[in-house]
Amino acid sequence: MDGTELSLPPGSSAGILESVSGFVKELRNAGIPVSLTENLDAVEALRHVPIEDRDAFKYALAATMVKNNAHWKTFETVFEVYFSLQGRRYQISGDGGSDETEDLLNELVGSPDSDGHGSGEGLTQEQLAEMLLRALMDGNDSMLRAIARTAVTRYAGMEPGRPVGGTYYLYRTLRQLDLESVMAKMLDRAKDANTDQSDLEERLTREEFEHRLDALRREIEAEIRRRLVADRGAEAVAKSVRKPLPEDVDFMHASREELAALRKAITPLTRKLAVRLARKRRHGRKGPLDFRSTVRHSLSYGGVPADPRFRYPRPSKPEIMVVADISGSVAAFARFTLQMVYAISSQFSRVRSFVFIDGIDEVTDYFKGTEDISAAIQRINTEADVIWVDGHSDYGHAFEVFWDKWGRDVNPKTTVLLLGDARNNYHAAQTWVLAEVAKKARHMYWLNPEPRSYWDTGDSIVGQYAAHCDGAFECRNLKQLERFVEHLG
Amino acid sequence: MTLFAPYRKDPEPVTEHSSPRFESPDSVRKGLASVAYLANEGIAGVVFLAERLGKPVLVEGPAGTGKTQLAKSVAEMTGSRLIRLQCYEGLDESKALYEWNYKKQLLRIQAERVTEAAGETWSDIEEDIFSEPFLMTRPLLEAIRAEEPVVLLIDEVDRVEVETEALLLEILSDYQVSIPELGTVAATQIPLVFLTSNNTRELSEALKRRCLFLHIDYPDLDREKEIVLTRVPGITDSLADQVVRIVRSIRGLDLKKAPSVSETLDWARTLVLLGIQSVDAATATETLNILLKYQTDIDKAAKDLAAPSSQR
Ligand SMILES: Nc1ncnc2c1ncn2[C@@H]1O[C@H](COP(=O)(O)OP(=O)(O)OP(=O)(O)O)[C@@H](O)[C@H]1O
Ligand SMILES: [Mg+2]
């Protein structure tokens, strides 16, 4: 026990409570902060929801314990793992329950028994494919759930105790179902049914089908997960599906999917940051009393200073120069940092940006006249002139050129941000450049997407550069990056 | 002299509340539907719990997804009075809770001196100027003093400063207010409280802990269609269907600001006004400016609609 011993609320079974405490433990393991009060609130909330209402049960847990929408996906996965099976054992209905259509299919295919074996002999593969196609065309959800169950039984080849992850089974099932050709068939049928579909209609139909196929994939995934839980227990499965929360995903090792999630997460984050900084700036709010103005206004109250006035101080804005390595390994990091800096560019009198690999190019203009920062970054990747010799990072050379071309623009109002892992491929470091820049600039900071423990190992020379900076920061994920950028404004 | 009706010398926090207003999450959903608010299971479930647990709800989500409307609709459904505190940067206790009308007070003192009214001592004046006629009640105090059922809407709470947030937290924890000159006012009934946030700022952990959390996202296809059918008079089922599918498609683009539910409704109303039966790419493109607010977004969506077989 972790000290959160909970008393048994009347009206709920001990089994549920036990699962809730395991569930909360796993939420915490997955990185979602759940306080003791919130845990107690959840238990209290469960007293009020009808136990057979699975949605209400789920939302009661979410509303009391998950207070950040970015954590919702993680919550859902953990919920699935902990309550999909318990659900049935403890009569939390849902997941199709016993539905007429499902009964029908079960009759057709032979009932899949509870431990997930047998069944399906009644139908040929072609018949099943045809049923699937029809169910998809009709958007028949309960039929699709039943088919997903049967497909897993037939195609996943799950064996008890086999130490294989869910992805493997998912892959096997999907390969047999061949959803790409299913999609093609669906489109054909839709066309046959309505010969004079406009382009727009056709496109909307396609998108609708894509949504249905996604739903089917998720259903298959869920079914596999349920069976894994039955086989290995919730804890083991929860552990195997655990993923970092978006704000903790490492820039350097993000998968495609994670990068997509990051791109989504960064927009609200930058918006928040911008508002926060704008507020901070305006926040000289209650400055000292403006005596003259107060007296002037007191005249309308017969000389009573009824309306005191204050001064509003306005600090001057810094100018930012971003110098970013955009070679393969650190490209994503540079992208997110630029995106963040530009999102708050109104906090600065000016932002100039320079990108390099072994050659360096100013890309400030790419950001001019467009509000679409991601499109600008796209263009930079394809158009900027950043390769000098071989396209391997050469910090020393890039810095030298920077100094020659733009060094005179650095002034006491400039804050310089240097972005990269400082892996210099054993080229000359040219640290003197940074020494010179530091002399002229107001501040200079190094941001490194690598974990601190890797710094100055192998060809990393971040220590040599950092010696001339006002600070060097580890920025491996959105959380760290945000924290740094916030201090900048 | 008791100025406040529900005045208690030694207030205890209120935990009891009268018989529950809702029977089940589903009855909340139906009740809301009867006042033209289409809720999903999550929304209905959280409103239900809020009433049962006597806890405030923190509602978060993109602009125009029905956060503010939810509080209004709950008030309408339950026949409660809606008290709204609109938050803004710089909102403070004197605008949220109560304020002594100090201009009036100053002038009163001034008048005293000028006329040199005899017999009045300073303490008379003091008692006088700290009495009800000089008190300006603001929404929070009003909600606490209310004797009839109220729904308190604290709108766009993310705009206030941290100090004001702390004040809100205090009130939402005890449902009582102490006014030094007058004593403590405690609520006789716990109001249903909704706080909305556009998430421009991270709210304090303490406030979040105190609240039930509800994220309202863009509705799914079926719910948005229901909303359109309910809120746009004279629209046909097939046009509503097309509208929400096109909107969903546009929301899938990487935009600065995706179309909100209120923009979907505006667009649908416009199409009805124009007498359009069925939307084609040209009509959609011509009316995009109702759906989208930024020129870059409009351009992007127009380009996308023109390329029919685009695969994303
Ligand atoms: N679920 C719904 N049922 C019915 N109408 C809805 C629903 N959601 C949104 N609407 C409509 O959308 C309009 C905008 O909603 P509302 O003003 O509540 O948005 P909001 O989330 O508070 O936006 P903001 O963040 O900009 O304040 C409402 O007036 C209402 O007409
Ligand atoms: Mg609102």
Q: Is B106 close to A56, i.e. CB distance below 8 A? A: no
Three-state SS sequence of B210-244: HCEEEECCCCCHHHHHHHHHHHCCCCCHHHHHHHH
Q: Which two tokens stand for residue A321?
A: 């120069």
Q: Among residues A206, A241, A276, which one ends one of the domains?
A: A241
B84 and B118 inside one domain: no
Amino acid (1-letter code) at residue B149: P
8 Å CB contact between A478 and A246: yes
Q: pLDDT band for position A107 (50/70/90)? A: low
Predicted pLDDT at B78 = 94
Q: How confident is the model at residue A7 (pLDDT cuts 50, 70, 90)?
A: very low
- Which DSSP category does A110 fall into? -
Residues 199-218 of B with CB under 8 A from A: 199-202, 208-209, 211-215, 217
Q: Give the per-residue pLDDT at B92.
A: 85
ipTM computed for the complex:
0.85
In a domain, B3, yes or no: no
Which chain B residues contact residue A301 at CB under 8 A?
Answer: 103, 106-107
At A166 the three-state DSSP class reads: helix
Residue B279 lies in a domain: yes
B42 close contact with A: CB closer than 8 A:
yes
Domain annotation covers residue B1: no
Q: Mean pLDDT lowest for which of A126-140, A475-489, B132-146, B207-221? A: A475-489
Q: Is the same domain home to A429 and A469?
A: yes
B122 and B266 in a single domain? The answer is: no
Classify residue A115: in a domain, yes or no.
Answer: yes
- Domain match, A37 and A173 both: no
The answer to whether B284 contacts chain A (CB < 8 Å) is yes
Sequence-ordered list of residues with C-beta below 8 angstroms from that of A63, at least 6 positions apart, any chain: A45, B45, B46, B49, B57, B212, B213, B214
Cα distance between residue B109 and residue A320, in whole Å: 55
* DSSP E strand boundaries for A434-488: 443-448, 471-474
- Give the ligand whose atoms come closest to the C-alpha of residue B263: 1
Domain count, chain A: 3
Ligand 1 pocket check for B68: Cβ under 6 Å: yes
Length of chain B: 312
Residue among B82, B155, B261, B263 whose CB has most ligand 1 atoms within 8 A, to mutate:
B261
**Of the residues B168, B186, B215, which one is the last residue of a structural domain?**
B215
Instruction: For residue B199, report the distance from its CA to the centre of ligand 1, in Å.
Output: 16
Q: Same domain for A171 and A265?
A: no
Domain membership of residue A359 as a residue range: 261-288+317-488
Q: Is the CB of B164 under 6 A from ligand 1?
A: no
| Res A15 pLDDT > 50 | yes
> B94 vs A64, A79, B101, B139, CA distance in Å?
31, 44, 10, 10
Does the beta carbon of B63 sit less than 6 angstroms from any atom of ligand 1? Answer: yes
Reading chain B (312 residues) residue by residue, the pLDDT tens digits are 333 333 333 444 444 445 567 889 999 999 999 999 999 999 999 999 999 999 999 999 999 999 999 999 999 999 999 999 999 988 888 888 888 887 777 777 777 665 655 566 677 777 777 777 788 888 998 999 898 999 999 999 998 888 888 889 988 988 888 888 788 888 888 899 999 998 887 788 899 999 999 999 999 999 999 999 999 999 999 999 999 999 999 998 888 889 999 999 999 999 999 999 999 888 999 999 999 998 888 999 998 887 755 444
Q: What percent of chain A has pLDDT over 70?
A: 82
- Given pLDDT bands bounded at 50, 70 and 90, which one contains residue A24? very high
Supply the mean pLDDT for chain A. 80
Q: What is the C-alpha separation between A480 and A260, in angstroms, rounded?
A: 19
Q: Do B245 and A302 touch (CB under 8 A)?
A: no
Asked if residue B298 and residue B166 are part of one domain, the reply reads no
Residues A449, A7: Cα–Cα separation, whole Å: 46
Residue A89 pLDDT class (50, 70, 90 cuts) = very low
pTM passes above 0.90: no
Residue A294 CB coordination number (10 Å): 15
- CA–CA dist A34, A308 (Å, integer): 45
Residue A329 sits in the same domain as residue A476? yes
pLDDT tens per residue, range A307-330: 777 766 555 677 889 999 988 778
- Please give the DSSP secondary-structure letter assigned to residue A154: I
Mark whether A228 and A336 lie in a shared domain. no
pLDDT at residue A29 is higher than 80: yes
- Rounded to the nearest whole angstrom, what is the distance from the C-alpha of residue B27 to the centroid of ligand 2? 24
Which of these three, A47, A82, A117, is where a domain ends?
A82
Number of domains in chain B: 3
Same domain, A136 and A225: yes
Q: Clarify whether residues A147 and A42 are in a common domain.
A: no
Query: Is residue B17 in some structural domain?
Result: no
The pLDDT of residue B247: 96
- Does B125 reach chain A within 8 Å, measured CB to CB? no
Q: Same structural domain for residues B109 and B61?
A: no
Which pLDDT belongs to residue A96? 39
Per-residue confidence (pLDDT) for residue B16, from 0 to 100: 44
pLDDT digits (tens, 9 = 90+) for A383-428: 777 777 677 889 999 999 999 999 999 999 898 999 999 998 888 8
Residue B80 lies in domain = 25-94+138-215
Instruction: From the CA of B32, give the closest atom in ligand 1.
Output: 3
